[in-house]
A and B are shown apart, each in its own frame.
Chain A
Amino acid sequence: MADFRVGSSVAVIVDTVSADYVGPMRLQQHDRAALAGEAGEGPRLAMGLLVAAAEAMGADGLLDISGAHIDSCLYHGQAGLDFASLLAAAGARVAVPTTLNVSSLDLLHPDLYRGSEAVRVAARDQMDAYERMGCKPTWTCAPYQLLDRPSLGEQVAWGESNAIVFANSVLGARTERYGDFLDICCAITGRAPAVGLHTEAGRRASFELAVDVPAEWGDNELLYVAVGHILGQVAGTRVGLITGLDDRATEDRLKALGAAAASSGAVAMFHVSGVTPEAESIEHAIAQVVPVDRDRIASALAALGPSESDLSAVSVGTPHASADELETLAGLCAGQTTAIPFYVNTGRDVLDSVGDAVGLIEAFGATIVTDTCTYITPILSDTPGAVMTNSGKWAYYAPANLGVEVVMGTLADCVESAVTGRTITRGVLS
């Protein structure tokens, strides 16, 4: 044990692994040096946790990473703040370019926050601690929408389930499913466990999800949400190969698919035959074929958004809306006015990159939310009825997080419903 006093509730730091590690993993000399504290107290703590976690994951050793995305910056209680404060006070700095996920606060629109002052202060302290460690204040759950994103084969350590599945599946970058705490340990050490999705063998699909639906359904954004929701239910933690989709599965649609799959299951990677970069280059080992027909798609959508209550709000942009999605929304809502609260979540960098679209969306009466998301922090005004969304992820988590009922609709349904104040679900596949 090392006596290292920080903050209010942390008294004594219990070491996770000893400096003279004798476990089963082969560690490099510089890993051992970090473990022994030669790079300072911050890297020592980070390397200790990384080694313990890597061993639990069955890794033989560690590998170099070229970037990280940190989910740990979102406040969930004192433990996360204590951890961040401890590392920052111990002088930890990230060793690779590192982006930050959403937090509990919208720093660009601080008036939107309706939570307690105590939580606001704690959440801000936690955000500051990660900035002090050298992370970039990107505050987005969609770091793959930033200009600088990892490319095919690049080893990274990403947190945030939707970002993890996108990085692996759509970009072909290699990351395991990094939980809070471990993501920043990788960033500080510049190392990650050499295991699982970091290796070719870990990226093979073991089952096929065979989608067989009417051809025109491929033009409907909710098809991808439903396929993702079903994928998560079927996959557990397995990698799956989706067949029956085509190049209408754009990045934004794959984003929606992955986010839904990483909500209903622990999906960290999928392949789409003919679409994603490793679908054909990897030798899969398919042991099961799961058929998905139109009835299954329709019932998945009905299960995600079953509410028949009156509509009280709309929330879109989970994961954070891309520039294309903001442009599409602007086109749909131009010249109209929403009759109910309408929230659009997006990243601050994406918001900066779009021009007239922002003005059109604001003229419509929508509230633009950055740096956070409407399902993780108190932003929504009172919602006596249902909230409509086009996001499978939002639909999955909002009922438990916010206590709201959800109804699914396409982006066009969301706009039309908001203008009329009535639930309109023309686009929902059935």
Chain B
Amino acid sequence: MNCQQFKKLISDALDGELTDSVRADFEAHRTNCKRCLKEYNYERRIRFYLKHFPTVHSVSSDFREELLRRIKAGEIKPELNLNVPAILATFCAIVIVLLGVIFGIKAYRSYVFQRWIFIATYETNANPENFQAVTGGRKVSEPSIERGSFSRPLFVLNLQELKAESLVLRLLSKYQEGKVPESLVESLLVNTGILDGVRMRVAEDKGGKALPGRAQRIEVIFPAQLSSTLVVGVKGSDLPALRRFALDVISTFGVYVPVLAPEDEVNLTMKNHLNHNGIVTDLVRLGNEELAKFVGDKYTVLIILSASDALINSSSK
């Protein structure tokens, strides 16, 4: 037995758990190795003093008397119980901190992602009378049109009670909120040339610097009155988004959407630039399931709007 093996066995030896043969080897090594004997004695001394910890010699009879008194009096609930006021206070503190965090995040988001309110105005030198206004949707002015060869059918969005500028502002606003895809804005406003010459600027705030969370007023300056008809090429995948946007516009502005009359179809299809056989599909009244079929190609959408007043002050979030 070497010293390392001996040291490992000291504990078992003091517990008296060695077999006879191992104990013989152990004792032989202990006798011959002074260092190991020292180690053994040290361990034995610790055991000795551990065994000689003070113990309870006697307990007063008062202890039992008190115990029995408590049992007879029914005081046998657990000694420790929840401290309800402390728990409530902690809970309230946590709620307050959470509300503070939520408010802080909201304020920060408002600060970073500032809301915009769009306001439409016209260039001061523009003469609205140079542009033909449409009343009642029967008379169609020169349309803003995206040229190209698109798949059939021809979709019609009949919003003849809605001012064209309101549609533009609403679209910009929804785009800013991320609720309208960029491709749709590109189709409706960029490709049709509606935004040509349109400028935007931050409206002066008389109240001083805008506070976090306060909407920023953006002035959209149109060079002239917009046309009352848009002929737009829209991707099949964007048709549901356009329909959703149209429904939002209808509910927001409360416009009445009449069913297209046969003569409307005739008037519309007589336009040379439409190059159409006369069959039109009402986009609003077509269900989403039907729209889902039109994926992949680009389709023509005819948006009928009313002419604007001289100055529009329509705003939306």
Tell me, yes or no, whether A binds B: no
Q: Give chain A's interface residues, CB within 8 Å of chain B.
A: none
Q: Give chain B's interface residues, CB within 8 Å of chain A.
A: none
